[in-house]
């Protein structure tokens, strides 16, 4: 077991016959101590390995928001799916930060930073794609069948990571994703800081751009609240829909009138997302 695979259990809670557990470990990719949460469904008691849904959270969140607010454990227990929720960025003393909520700690944007001082720690893309799954699959009774989902900044991360690695994920979904970050204030601020001023380096981290030029398709589900305060300026789901239509990409996108950007919205539709992923994980 390598140093990066030495993990420490922080908390354990029984839930719907399974177990919610939080761990910390020293990440060699991010050069800091990271936390993640995992829900293991009761099916693991049979000795059978279960597939994993990776959940990426949004700005200012940690591994705790989704696990505590979404109600995902009930459906995951029924379907026999493990849920893994990493933190949203590197953290700790010596990790670069910013006074704004939308940059720095809590706002990693799931990219590999190339610009100093961010590039020393902010390698969230490599962490989510490589280090974390290797740790999970070598430590817990899970298979290498993976799906990925997320919310807002994490929705952006889930869609872009899946489309850049279509062989690794059976399906992808998102709630309220930042669909066109190269043209959204959140994305412009983060990408110019982490990736530099050359916008050509931003294109591989824009879901609309990736969907428009994709040659390998992954089943995709996106839900968006129609009363979301960030809908027009930051999220721009119409750009993702246009890209899917231009490329015949298998995207199911639904606008839900009256719903906002909160976990009240996510908890209302998370069961549909898990059943969507279960269908593709079981193929």
In a domain, 1, yes or no: no
**pTM across the whole model:** 0.97
pLDDT of residue 119: 98
The domain containing residue 186 runs over which residues? 7-282
Domain count, the chain: 1
Mean pLDDT of 68-82: 98
Structure confidence by residue, pLDDT tens digits, 141-186: 999 999 999 999 999 999 999 999 999 999 999 999 999 999 999 9
In a domain, 86, yes or no: yes
What's the CA gap between 248 and 239, in Å, rounded? 14
Q: Which of 20, 121, 205, 261 is catalytic?
A: 261
Q: Which of 152, 170, 176, 208 is catalytic?
A: 152
Mean pLDDT value across the chain = 97
Mean pLDDT of 4-10: 83
pLDDT of residue 1: 35
pLDDT of residue 99: 96
Q: Which of 151, 228, 273, 277 is catalytic?
A: 228
Is 228 among the residues known to form the active site?
yes
In a domain, 173, yes or no: yes
Which residues 6+ apart lie within 8 Å of 200 measured at CB?
none
pLDDT of residue 52: 98
3-state secondary structure of 50: strand
- Strand 18-27: give its sheet, edge to edge: 7-15, 18-27, 32-40, 82-86, 50-56, 142-150, 172-175, 220-225, 251-256
Residue 5 confidence (pLDDT) above 90: no
In a domain, 2, yes or no: no
Long-range Cβ contacts of 166-169 (<8 Å, 24+ apart):
166/214, 166/216, 166/217, 166/218, 167/216, 168/129, 168/133, 169/218
Is 171 among the residues known to form the active site?
no
pLDDT of residue 283: 85
Q: What is the CATH number of the domain that holds 44?
A: 3.40.50.1820
pLDDT of residue 113: 98
In a domain, 54, yes or no: yes
In a domain, 196, yes or no: yes
Mean pLDDT of 111-135: 98
Which residues 6+ apart lie within 8 Å of 63 measured at CB?
22, 35, 36, 37, 57, 85, 86, 87
Query: Please, which pLDDT band fits residue 4 given cuts at 50, 70 and 90?
Result: very low
In eight-state DSSP terms, residue 35 is E
Is 152 among the residues known to form the active site?
yes
Residue matched to tokens 């390598």 = 2
In a domain, 44, yes or no: yes
In a domain, 219, yes or no: yes
pLDDT of residue 6: 85
């Amino acid at each position: 077991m390598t140093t990066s695979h030495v993990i420490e259990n922080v908390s354990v809670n029984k839930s719907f016959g399974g177990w919610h557990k939080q761990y910390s470990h020293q990440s060699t990719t991010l050069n800091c101590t990271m936390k993640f949460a995992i829900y293991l469904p009761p099916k693991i008691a049979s000795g059978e390995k279960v597939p994993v849904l990776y959940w990426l959270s949004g700005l200012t969140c940690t591994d705790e928001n989704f696990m505590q607010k979404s109600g995902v454990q009930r459906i995951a227990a029924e379907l026999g799916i493990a849920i893994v929720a990493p933190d949203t960025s590197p953290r700790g003393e010596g990790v670069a930060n910013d006074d704004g909520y939308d940059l720095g700690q809590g706002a990693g944007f799931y990219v590999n930073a190339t610009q100093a001082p961010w590039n020393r720690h902010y390698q969230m893309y490599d962490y989510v794609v490589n280090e974390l799954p290797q740790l999970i699959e070598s430590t817990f009774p899970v298979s290498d069948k993976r799906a990925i989902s997320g919310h807002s900044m994490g929705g952006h991360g889930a869609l872009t990571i899946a489309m850049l690695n279509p062989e690794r994920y059976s399906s992808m979904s998102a709630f309220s994703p930042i669909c066109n970050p190269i043209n959204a204030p959140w994305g412009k601020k983060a990408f110019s800081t982490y990736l530099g001023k050359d916008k050509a380096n931003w294109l591989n981290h824009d879901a609309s751009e990736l969907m428009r030029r994709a040659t390998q398709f992954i089943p995709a589900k996106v839900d968006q609240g129609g009363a979301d305060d960030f809908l027009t300026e930051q999220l721009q789901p119409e750009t993702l829909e246009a890209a899917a239509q231009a490329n015949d990409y298998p995207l199911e996108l639904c606008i839900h009138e009256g719903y906002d950007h909160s976990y009240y919205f996510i908890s209302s539709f998370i069961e549909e997302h898990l059943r969507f992923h279960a269908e593709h994980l079981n193929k």
